[in-house]
C-alpha cells in the first residue's frame, strides 16, 4: 500500500463526504467523532450515510479501549480536535479501523507539510524510512509502528482534510490481565471468568543484601499482590511462543511479563500502543483441537528456568481444569529450537500431577475448542503468590523420592557451562569458594531428583545467578543462599523464591561488559568484590 502524499481534490466541500461515502461499504457504518468536527461535514455524513452509527467514547482510557474493541472494527473516524492531541488520538483510534476504513483529520492537510504537528512528524518520519517488512521480530515498538505506517498506510488530501487508511487485515487489540474480566462482563463473548481467588497475604520481603552495591533496577521494588483468575476461552488460536488470540484480542495469557507497563511478545509486531499484528499471520485452515486444554505454554518453552518459573506457576489450575472436564489435557507448542517435548519437561509436569500422556505438543498454530488458563502465581520481577509453595513442595518431594539417597556436601557452589552471560574468570571466583569449604558442582550432571536432594541437604547454597539456582524453590527449610552475577542481570527470580521460602539471600554484584544487556559477559574483580565475598564466607 505505502505511505504517500496524494493529490488534492478540487471542488466544493462535499468532496470529502463523497470520498468517505465511497469508502464505506453501504449506507450503514460505525464511526467515531473526535473533538468537534465541522458541523457541515457531520451533517453531510449523515445525509450520505443514513445508517451511520456514531459511538460515544468514554473518557476513561480503559473503558474507551474496551468500547473500540467491542464495537469495532470501525468504518470511519473523524478527528476535529486540537493539533497537539492528534497523535494521541490517532494512536488510540486508527487501528481499530477495518482495512480500507477511513480516518479523517479535519483540516489536517498541513500535517504533511512544514506546519506539521506530532502526528505529521510521525508520518513524515515513516515516509522517510526505507521500506522494510513489518512482520519481523523486533522489540522496538516505535520501529515496528514506523514500518507499519511506511508500508501499510495510505494518505491523501481531500478539500484540505487529511485522509488515511490501512490495509492490515489482522490487527489485534492488546488487553491487560487486570482489565480482561471487566471486558468479558461488558462485551458479548463466549469467554468467561470461572473463578477469582483473591490474593492472600503477600510474602514478606526476604532477608536480602547485595554487595558491594545493589543492582539499581530493582532496589526497593516491593512484591506486588495479584489476584488469581481462572478463565475459560472458547474457539481461540494458540500459537508458538505463548501466543493466544481470539478474533479481536491478543489475550493477556500471551505475555509472560503481564504486569509490565508495555506488553511484549516477540511474535507480535506493535503497530500502535495497544495494537499489534502477529509476526506469523494465522492461516485460515489451521487444525482444530476439540476438547478442553489447560494452557501451560511459555515464550521460551523447553528452557529449564522458564519452565520452573512460568509454566509451573500456572499448574495450580490443573485440578480445577480436571473438575471441569476429567478428560482435559495440557497444551504447549513446538518451537524452532525445541520441536519436541524434553524429558525434564515431562518429568516436572508428572511430578506436578499431570500424566505424561496428557501433555499435548502442537506443531503449529491450532484453534482450540476450550482453553482454560490461570493467572501465574509467579511473575519475575513483579510478584510471587505464597500459595505456590504447595506446588513447589509437591514437585520437589516427588522428584527427590525418585532418586537414590546419597551423601551430599554441606557447602555447594553451582557452576555453569553456559557461554552466554559468562563469568570470564569463573575458575578464579570458584577458587575463592573452594578455599572456604565449598564443593563446585554442575547441576546438569545430576538427575532432577538428585538436584533437589543436593539443594535440600546443603547448609549453604552458592552459585552463579540464573536457572541453575532455581531449585532453591524446592527447599522448604530456610537456607543461606549466595548468588554471584553481574550488574546487568536484571531478573530477581531467586529473590522471589527466597521470599516464599525465607532463605537468607546475599548477592555479589560484579561488573559487566557494555553492549549486551542481560546477556553481557562479566568478571569477578578481586579488588572490588573480593573483600565483601571473603568477609561473607569467613562469617558463615
Q: Supply angle C-alpha 69, 72, 73, rounded to 5.
A: 125
Domain membership of residue 1 (yes or no) is: no
**What 8-state DSSP symbol labels residue 46?**
H
Indicate whether 157 and 176 sit together in one domain.
Answer: no
Could you give the residue ranges of the DSSP H alpha helices within 215-355?
A: 304-306, 318-324, 343-351
The CA distances from residue 21 to 95, 105, 166, in Å, are 19, 16, 17
Indicate whether 514 and 485 sit together in one domain.
Answer: yes
Domain membership of residue 397 (yes or no) is: no
pLDDT of residue 3: 56
The CA distances from residue 518 to 126, 217, 310, 507, 525, in Å, are 30, 12, 19, 16, 19
Question: Cα–Cα distance between 359 and 346 in angstroms, integer?
Answer: 8
Supply the CATH number for residue 54's domain.
Answer: 3.40.50
Indicate whether 159 and 28 sit together in one domain.
Answer: yes
Inter-residue contact 453 to 405 (CB < 8 Å) = yes
pLDDT of residue 184: 94
Indicate whether 381 and 233 sit together in one domain.
Answer: yes
Q: How many domains does the chain have?
A: 3
Indicate whether 261 and 196 sit together in one domain.
Answer: yes
Q: Supply angle C-alpha 145, 151, 155, rounded to 5.
A: 95
Find where cell 481470539 sits. Answer: 246
Inter-residue contact 496 to 470 (CB < 8 Å) = no
Give the structural domain span for 268. Answer: 172-202+222-386
Give, to the nearest 10 degrees, the angle between helix 118-128 and helix 141-152: 80
**C-alpha cell of 476?**
522448604
Domain membership of residue 393 (yes or no) is: no
The residue among 335, 353, 386 that closes a domain is 386
Domain membership of residue 8 (yes or no) is: no
Q: Supply angle C-alpha 483, 487, 490, rounded to 5.
A: 80
Q: What is the pLDDT along the chain (540 residues), one digit of tens a residue?
A: 555 545 444 444 578 888 888 888 777 889 999 998 888 888 888 888 888 899 999 999 999 999 999 998 999 999 999 999 999 999 999 999 999 999 999 999 989 888 889 999 999 999 988 888 888 876 777 888 999 999 999 999 998 899 999 999 999 999 999 999 999 998 999 999 999 999 877 799 999 999 999 987 666 788 988 899 999 999 999 999 999 999 999 999 999 999 999 999 999 999 999 999 999 999 989 999 999 999 999 999 999 999 999 999 999 999 999 999 999 999 999 999 999 999 999 999 999 999 999 999 999 999 999 999 999 999 999 999 999 999 999 999 999 999 999 999 999 999 999 778 899 999 999 999 999 999 999 999 999 999 999 999 999 999 999 999 999 999 999 999 999 999 999 899 999 999 999 999 999 999 999 877 888 999 999 999 999 999 999 999
Domain membership of residue 433 (yes or no) is: yes
**C-alpha cell of 189?**
463473548
Indicate whether 423 and 526 sit together in one domain.
Answer: yes
Domain membership of residue 162 (yes or no) is: yes
| 482, β-bridge pairs | 462, 506
- Counting every residue written for the chain, the total comes to 540
Supply the CATH number for residue 526's domain.
Answer: 3.40.50.360
Question: Cα–Cα distance between 389 and 142 in angstroms, integer?
Answer: 40
pLDDT of residue 509: 97
The residue among 118, 146, 166 that closes a domain is 166
Question: Cα–Cα distance between 11 and 497 in angstroms, integer?
Answer: 70
Indicate whether 232 and 122 sit together in one domain.
Answer: no
**First-last CA distance in the chain:** 67
Domain membership of residue 217 (yes or no) is: no
Handedness of CA 381, 383, 385, 386 (dihedral sign): positive
Element of type H or E holding 192: strand 192-197
Q: Supply angle C-alpha 257, 240, 390, rounded to 5.
A: 50
Indicate whether 179 and 155 sit together in one domain.
Answer: no
Indicate whether 291 and 438 sit together in one domain.
Answer: no
Indicate whether 176 and 314 sit together in one domain.
Answer: yes
**C-alpha cell of 303?**
528452557
The residue among 386, 413, 446 that closes a domain is 386
pLDDT of residue 12: 47
Indicate whether 360 and 439 sit together in one domain.
Answer: no
Residue of 248, 241, 291, 298 lying closest to 268 (CA atoms) = 241
pLDDT of residue 391: 98
Indicate whether 237 and 359 sit together in one domain.
Answer: yes
Domain membership of residue 261 (yes or no) is: yes
pLDDT of residue 519: 85
Q: Could you tell me the pTM of the whole model?
A: 0.93
**What 8-state DSSP symbol labels residue 306?**
H
**C-alpha cell of 133?**
517488512
Amino acid at each position: 500500500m505505502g505511505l504517500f502524499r496524494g493529490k488534492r481534490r478540487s471542488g466544493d466541500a462535499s468532496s470529502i463526504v463523497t470520498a468517505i461515502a465511497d469508502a464505506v461499504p453501504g449506507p450503514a457504518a460505525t464511526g467515531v467523532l473526535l473533538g468537534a468536527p465541522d458541523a457541515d461535514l457531520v451533517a453531510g455524513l449523515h445525509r450520505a450515510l443514513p445508517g451511520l452509527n456514531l459511538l460515544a467514547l468514554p473518557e476513561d482510557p480503559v473503558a474507551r479501549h474496551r468500547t473500540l474493541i467491542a464495537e469495532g472494527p470501525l468504518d470511519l473516524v473523524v478527528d476535529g480536535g486540537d493539533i497537539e492531541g492528534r497523535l494521541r488520538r490517532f494512536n488510540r483510534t486508527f487501528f481499530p479501523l477495518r482495512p480500507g476504513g477511513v480516518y479523517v483529520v479535519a483540516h489536517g492537510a498541513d500535517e504533511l507539510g512544514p506546519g506539521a504537528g506530532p502526528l505529521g512528524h510521525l508520518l513524515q518520519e515513516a515516509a522517510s524510512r526505507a521500506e522494510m517488512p513489518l512482520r519481523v521480530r523486533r522489540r522496538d515498538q516505535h520501529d515496528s509502528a514506523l514500518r507499519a505506517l511506511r508500508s501499510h498506510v495510505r494518505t491523501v488530501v481531500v478539500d484540505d482534510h487529511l485522509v488515511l487508511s490501512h490495509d492490515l487485515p489482522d490487527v489485534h487489540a492488546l488487553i491487560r490481565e487486570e482489565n480482561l474480566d471487566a471486558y468479558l462482563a461488558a462485551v458479548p463473548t463466549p469467554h468467561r471468568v470461572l473463578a477469582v481467588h483473591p490474593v492472600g497475604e503477600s510474602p514478606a520481603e526476604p532477608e536480602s543484601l547485595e554487595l558491594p552495591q545493589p543492582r539499581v533496577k530493582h532496589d526497593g521494588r516491593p512484591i506486588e499482590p495479584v489476584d488469581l483468575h481462572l478463565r475459560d476461552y472458547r474457539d481461540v488460536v494458540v500459537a508458538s511462543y505463548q501466543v493466544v488470540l481470539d478474533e479481536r484480542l491478543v489475550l493477556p495469557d500471551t505475555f509472560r511479563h503481564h504486569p509490565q507497563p508495555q506488553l511484549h511478545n516477540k511474535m507480535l509486531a506493535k503497530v500502535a500502543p495497544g495494537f499489534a499484528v502477529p509476526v506469523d499471520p494465522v492461516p485460515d485452515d489451521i487444525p482444530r483441537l476439540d476438547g478442553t486444554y489447560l494452557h501451560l505454554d511459555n515464550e521460551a518453552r523447553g528452557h529449564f528456568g522458564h519452565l520452573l518459573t512460568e509454566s509451573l506457576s500456572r499448574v495450580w489450575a490443573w485440578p480445577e481444569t480436571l473438575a471441569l472436564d476429567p478428560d482435559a489435557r495440557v497444551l504447549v507448542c513446538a518451537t524452532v529450537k525445541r520441536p519436541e517435548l524434553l524429558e525434564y519437561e515431562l518429568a516436572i509436569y508428572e511430578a506436578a500431577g499431570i500424566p505424561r500422556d496428557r501433555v499435548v505438543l502442537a506443531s503449529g498454530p491450532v484453534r482450540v475448542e476450550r482453553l482454560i488458563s490461570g493467572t501465574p502465581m509467579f511473575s519475575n520481577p513483579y510478584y510471587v503468590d505464597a500459595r505456590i509453595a504447595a506446588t513447589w513442595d509437591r514437585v520437589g518431594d516427588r522428584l527427590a523420592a525418585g532418586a537414590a539417597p546419597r551423601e551430599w556436601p554441606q557447602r555447594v557452589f553451582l557452576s555453569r557451562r553456559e557461554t552466554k552471560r559468562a563469568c570470564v574468570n569463573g575458575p578464579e571466583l570458584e577458587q575463592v569458594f573452594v578455599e572456604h569449604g565449598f564443593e563446585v558442582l554442575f547441576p546438569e550432571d545430576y538427575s532432577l531428583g538428585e538436584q533437589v536432594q543436593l539443594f535440600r541437604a546443603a547448609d549453604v547454597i552458592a552459585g552463579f545467578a540464573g536457572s541453575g539456582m532455581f531449585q532453591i524453590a524446592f527447599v522448604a527449610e530456610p537456607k543461606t543462599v549466595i548468588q554471584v552475577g553481574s550488574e546487568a542481570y536484571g531478573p530477581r527470580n531467586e529473590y522471589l523464591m527466597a521470599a516464599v521460602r525465607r532463605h537468607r539471600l546475599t548477592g555479589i554484584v560484579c561488573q559487566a561488559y557494555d553492549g549486551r544487556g542481560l546477556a553481557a559477559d562479566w568478571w569477578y574483580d578481586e579488588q572490588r568484590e573480593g573483600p565483601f565475598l571473603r568477609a561473607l564466607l569467613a562469617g558463615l
